[in-house]
């Protein structure tokens, strides 16, 4: 069987009428609606992730309020690591503890822990800086 040239095959395809220049294919839907659908899916996913994070945070704060001792032990463990990341984590934990205990009889516990950590580690300037930035230590 002789090989057909590409140009002959294209000419035959055009003559068959299966190809119509200027007519959009029915297989492709309108692009704006698919973009809108993708945006809606993205917004929905972001909303669900935000709600899940808020629920997780609320549970963590409720657990802290119920029993603050694990949080206090964690701050003491973190201070032994002697890194800026651990000091940032300490300040964050103490801010969350302060928020969790607001309005309770243990409301000043986070401030007490911050003062204790500063007093036990007077030479850790980065720790003091992070605690000061979180509003626990005055200048």
With cut-offs at 50, 70 and 90, classify the pLDDT of residue 33: low
pTM of the model: 0.67
> Which residues make Cβ contacts (< 8 Å) with residue 94, sequence separation at least 6?
75, 110, 113, 114, 131, 134, 136
| Residue 138 dihedral angles phi and psi, to the nearest 5° | -85, 160
Average pLDDT over residues 4-23: 72
- Beta strand ranges found along 12-117 (DSSP E): none
Q: Give the separation between CA 110 and CA 123, rounded to whole angstroms.
A: 21
Note the pLDDT tens digit of each residue in 36-87: 888 889 999 999 999 999 999 999 999 999 999 999 999 999 999 999 999 9
Q: Give the separation between CA 92 and CA 114, rounded to whole angstroms.
A: 11
Note the pLDDT tens digit of each residue in 114-139: 999 999 999 999 999 999 999 998 87
């Amino acid at each position: 069987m002789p090989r057909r040239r590409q140009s002959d095959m294209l000419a035959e395809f055009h003559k068959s009428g299966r190809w119509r220049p200027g007519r959009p294919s029915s297989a492709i839907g309108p692009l704006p609606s698919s973009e809108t659908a993708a945006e809606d899916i993205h917004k929905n996913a972001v909303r669900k992730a935000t709600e899940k994070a808020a629920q997780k945070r609320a549970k963590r704060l409720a657990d802290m309020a119920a029993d603050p001792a694990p949080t206090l032990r964690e701050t003491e463990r973190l201070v032994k690591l002697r890194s800026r990341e651990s000091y940032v984590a300490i300040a964050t934990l103490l801010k969350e503890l302060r928020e969790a205990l607001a309005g309770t009889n243990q409301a000043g516990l986070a401030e007490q822990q911050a003062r204790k950590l500063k007093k036990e580690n007077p030479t850790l300037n980065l720790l003091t800086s992070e605690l000061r930035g979180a509003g626990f230590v005055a200048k």
